[in-house]
């Protein structure tokens, strides 16, 4: 049904920027809120950001607020995560997924159809 593919990760120096992309196999992505979450060794999975199907509502974890920006281009079946001012705490595998509870209090808690992820490493 739904296939999500993350890309754009890589190695970046502290203070640098990356833009991640989450691409869907077809236009069904347009109807869902999309979540970015990350997983790092020894740390709990953390919801990073979520965007509504229309793009009109966005949520961010406190740890990335002001540094990351989520956006989407439904015509391209793609959701983006612009990451600025990166630091070592941002090092993780970043996944996108369909957020099943995209509300202010529950976003990031229930999701499905996540992709394989893309590695982000912030290091000197």
pLDDT score, position 57: 97
CA angle 52, 93, 21 (to 5 degrees): 45
Q: In Å, what is the CA distance from 67 to each residue of 1, 15, 48, 60?
A: 33, 10, 11, 10
> In sequence order, what are the residues at sequence separation of 6 or more whose Cβ sits closer than 8 angstroms to the Cβ of residue 28?
1, 2
pLDDT above 90: percentage of residues in the chain: 85
Q: In Å, what is the CA distance from 90 to each residue of 57, 82, 108, 120?
A: 23, 13, 17, 7
With a cut of 90, say whether residue 95 has pLDDT above it: yes
**22-46, pLDDT tens digit by residue?**
998 877 778 899 999 999 999 999 9
**What is the DSSP track for 31-70?**
GS-EEEEEE-TTS--EEEEEE-TTS--EEE-TTTTTTEEE
With a cut of 80, say whether residue 1 has pLDDT above it: no
Lowest-pLDDT choice from 7-11, 73-77, 102-106, 107-111: 73-77
């Amino acid at each position: 049904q739904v296939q999500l593919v993350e890309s754009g990760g890589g190695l970046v120096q502290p203070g640098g920027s990356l833009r991640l992309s989450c691409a869907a196999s077809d236009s069904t992505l347009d109807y869902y809120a999309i979540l970015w979450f990350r997983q790092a060794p020894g740390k709990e999975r953390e919801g990073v950001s979520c965007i509504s199907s229309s793009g009109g509502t966005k949520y961010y974890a406190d740890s990335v607020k002001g540094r990351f920006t989520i956006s989407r281009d439904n015509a391209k079946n793609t959701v983006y995560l612009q990451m600025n001012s990166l630091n070592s705490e941002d090092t993780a595998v970043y996944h996108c997924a369909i957020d099943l509870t995209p509300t202010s209090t529950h976003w990031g808690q229930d999701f499905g159809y996540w992709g394989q992820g893309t590695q982000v490493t912030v290091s000197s």
